[in-house]
Amino acid sequence: MQLDSKFEKLIKGQAEYKSANLGLNLLISRLQRKYSQNSSSEVLNSCLQEMNAFFAKYKNIVKTDIEQISQL
């Protein structure tokens, strides 16, 4: 997905985003916590996969979030 670099910034805490979608906010904060505890590339890839899976599963619900995150 073309958003991987934006997702990576979110996970690493280099960018901040608050959604109207509570589930997305919880996912972002959980992945940030997970990455801050272990900042290896394996954990980052795992977080990116989870983020991509969430957006693929709920693509109809998170359309506006995708647009806003792509502008970060």
Q: What is the pTM of this model?
A: 0.90
Alpha-carbon torsion angle 42, 54, 15, 39, nearest 10: -20
Domain span at 55: 4-70
A 10 A CB-CB count for 31 gives 22
- How does pLDDT run across 27-55, given as a tens digit for each residue? 999 999 999 999 999 999 999 999 999 99
Residue 71 has pLDDT above 60, yes or no: yes
How many domains is the chain partitioned into structurally? 1
